[in-house]
Amino acid sequence: MPVAALLSRGAVNDYYEAFGPVARFFDPMLLPILREQVLKANLELVRQGLVLFTFGNVSGISRRDGLIVIKPSGVPYESMTTADLVVTDLEGKAVEGTLRPSSDLPTHLALYKAFSTIGGVAHTHSEYATSWAQARRPIPCFGTTHADYFHGSVPVTDAMSDTEIASDYELNTGHAIVRTFQKIDPGAVPGVLVANHGPFAWGADAEAAAHNAVILEAVARMAYYTLSINQNADAVGKTLHDKHYLRKHGSQAYYGQLKDPK
C-alpha cells in the first residue's frame, strides 16, 4: 500500500513536499485512472469547441475514496497533464496537487453531495446554451434529439440574489441548481442553465458529463434555430418524448447493443 494512503488527507501534500521525487517513485499519484478520465473529458470539451481559452472545467469523483479530481484554475488546456489536476476531499480541501483547483469547485461539490448517483460534472460557457442561460429561458424539447437525452425541458435556475453573489458565490451557484431540481430527477435531466451564467451538465462519470455537455449545446442550438424558423413552434408531444427517452434509458431500453455479461 502506498505510504500516502496511510496518512491523513491533510498530511499527503506535506509528505510529497518533504520526500519529493523519491516519494513519487514509490507512491504514484492518487487516483491515476480517474485523473486520466478527467483529463480526457476536459480535452473533449476543447475538441468539441465548447470552451475558449481556459474557460470551463470537468471533474470526477471517487465516492469510495471520498475524493474529487478537477481541472486546475486558469491552466491552458494545451499544456495540461494529469499531474496538473487537483485532488480534493468533499469539503474542498486539497489532498494532492500544487495548483489551485477550478474556482467552480464549490459548485461541483454541492452537486456531488445533492445528486448521489452522479460521477462527473462539466461546466462550459458554450455559445448557444449560455445564450439561453442569459435569456433566463429553459430549453423546450422540440424534437427527438433532445428527448433522447433529456426527459423534459432543460431548466434554468432562478437569478441569484445580491447576497448570494456577494457571499460564497460558487457554493450558492450549486445551491441554486439543487433548488431547481427539487421536483426534477437529475438522472433524467442531466443538465441545467444557471441564470445569466451558463450550463452545467453531469453524468455517471467525467466522460458522460462531458458528453452531456456537448449534447446540451447541440439541443440549445437546435432550439434556437427552431424558434427562429417558427416562433410559435410547439414542444414535442409526451408520447413521442417518452418513447425516445425510454428506448435509451431505464430497464426497458432497447437502443444500442447489449453489454457483455460479467
- Please indicate whether residue 234 is annotated as part of the active site: no
Q: Could you give phi then psi for residue 124, rounded to 5 degrees?
A: -135, 175
Q: Take residue 153 and report the three cell numbers written for it.
A: 425541458
The total of other beta-carbon atoms located within 10 Å of residue 111's CB is 25
Tell me if 183 sits within 8 A of 117, measured CB to CB: no
Q: Which of 158, 168, 185, 255 is catalytic?
A: 255
H helix or E strand, kind and range, residue 148: helix 144-149
Exposure string (b/e) for 52-71, b if CB count within 10 Å is 16 or more?
A: eeebbbbbbbeeeeebbbbb
- Please indicate whether residue 16 is annotated as part of the active site: no
Q: Take residue 177 and report the three cell numbers written for it.
A: 441548481
Q: Which of 16, 148, 149, 205 is catalytic?
A: 148
Positions marked catalytic = 148, 255
